[in-house]
Amino acid sequence: MTARRKATYAVVLVALAAFGIWAANRVSGLSEDTQATNPLFRWEYLFTRERTPGELWGKTRQHLELTVVPVLIGIVLSSLLSALILRFGWLRSVVFTFAGVLYTIPSIALFAVLVTYYSNETAAITALTSYTLLILTRNFVAGIDAVPRAALDAADGLGMSRFQRLRKVEIPLALPVILTGIRIATVTVVGLVGISAVIQLGGLAIYIFDGFNRDYTTLMVLGTVATILLAVVLDIVLRGIEWLATPWARRRVAP
């Protein structure tokens, strides 16, 4: 990217941001005197209030736990499912339909139903894991399917066993798509964790619900920005892993 184009993008971004802030203040419908007592964002909540860093970190940790654990379990389960699909081709439509159905069940409902049988955390993790299944299985299978036939034939020609071929040829070549799937699943789960607030969890989204209930927009802004930041950070970290793990595929893989 040329310096000029970078400059253009930067100017456009700054202009958009400024417009956004002005529009937010306009659109939030606040009169002058309420601006004083109930501003859109109280900076002192974030910077001077003592308890804020601890609370923020505590919620981030809970949010992370509710993201990482379901994704990890999802990876294990999806690997199993993908292996089964690759072996028994007819399972493909069955598994995808089932996972697709799980995906359409609204998360609030799944949380609320599961919590009557399990504890809050177990219910949340189970529900979130089920949402990762569709994304991960789809990407795992697509990744392995996309391995060029020529590479498979070459592996067979070299006399590799089935498992050697899987380990040395198919998985490495499928890695970009697999890692992309993990990245998409992670970012999706970060967004869904918030809904577990209905069962008294919720991570960073507690700020959003609390702010809504108390008409305290500072909390809502804080929660929104923190959640988005967390998702962006995880996205970047996973892209980094993707880049490191596949040195032969160092081109931009379309998301």
Q: How far is the CB of 156 from other proteins (least distance, A)?
A: 4
Q: Which stretch binds other proteins (CB under 8 A): 10-18, 74-82, 106-114?
A: 106-114
Does residue 124 interact with other proteins by CB under 8 A? no
Query: Are the C-beta atoms of residues 170 and 144 closer than 8 Å to each other?
Result: yes
Interaction between residue 92 and other proteins (CB under 8 A): yes
Q: Taking CB under 8 A as the rule, does residue 252 contact other proteins?
A: yes
- What region does 203 belong to: left with phi over 0, alpha with psi -120 to 50, or beta? left
Using CB under 8 A, count the residues that bind other proteins. 89
- Cα 65 from chain centroid? 13
Determine, following the binding rule CB under 8 A, whether residue 215 of this chain makes contact with other proteins: yes
Window of 10-18, 74-82, 159-167 that interacts with other proteins by CB under 8 A: 159-167
Site string for other proteins, 19-58 (x = CB under 8 A): --------xxxx------xx---x------x-x--xx--x
Please report how many Cα atoms fall inside a 13 Å half-sphere around the Cα of residue 105, on the Cβ side: 18
What number of helices (H) and strands (E) belong to the chain?
12, 0
Q: Which of 241, 219, 232, 197 is nearest to 62 (CA)?
A: 197
Residue in 113, 122, 167, 168 binding other proteins, rule: CB under 8 A:
113
